Amino acid sequence: MTAELERIAYTASVTATGGRAGHARSTDGHIDLDLRPPQEMGGPGGATNPEQLFAAGYAACFQGALGVAGRRHKVDTSGSVVTCEVSIGPVGQAFGLAVTLDVEIPGVDEATCQKLADEAHEVCPYSNATRGNIDVQVRARPVA
């Protein structure tokens, strides 16, 4: 099922040239960087790659969704940390992705941390975009 936007709040635009060994630049110039395949995939490394960019976006977006969940339950998530790991590997004749999100919320128990992380996973746009398409694991890690 495809979700249709009720309205467009913002549109990001980034142009890539040269594929994984190229360059990416946003229309506003805030992103202007070289891309290189990582050494683990036989590339030269030395620059960012699409998986790192996806992980950065997903982690930031998920943390925002965690804030929404926290406000709904009157839990302060301002000190939370979200780490996103994006893995790439073969799937038949193509390639696919897998994601692990590690969520840390200081001052809450494990059950509360997991509840808020699960709720964030329901409202996060990245989670909604990937749901049913790739494996996404959400791990809560409460911090004392």
Domain locations along the chain: 1-48, 50-140
For the chain, give the mean pLDDT: 95
CATH of the structural domain 50-140, one choice from 2.40.70.10, 3.30.300.20, 3.30.300.30, 3.40.120.10: 3.30.300.20
Per-residue pLDDT reduced to its tens digit, 69-86: 999 999 999 999 999 999
Q: What is the pLDDT of residue 1?
A: 62
**Torsion angle defined by CA atoms of residues 36, 59, 2 and 49, in that order, rounded to the nearest 10 degrees:** 0
Q: Is it the case that residue 56 has pLDDT exceeding 90?
A: yes
Nearest by Cα to 116 from 134, 141, 136, 94: 141
Residues 6+ apart with CB under 8 A from 139: 100, 101, 102, 103, 117
Task: Look up residue 95 and give its amino acid.
Answer: F
Query: Rounded to an integer, what distance in angstroms lies between the CA atom of residue 70 and that of residue 74?
Result: 6
- pLDDT tens digits for range 98-117: 999 999 999 999 999 999 99
Dihedral angle at the C-alpha atoms of 128, 10, 56, 50, nearest 10 degrees? 90
pLDDT band (50, 70, 90) for residue 4:
confident
CATH 2.20.25.10 for domain 1-48, yes or no, is yes
Buried residues in 89-110 as b, exposed as e (16+ CB within 10 A):
eeeeeeeebebebbbbbeebee
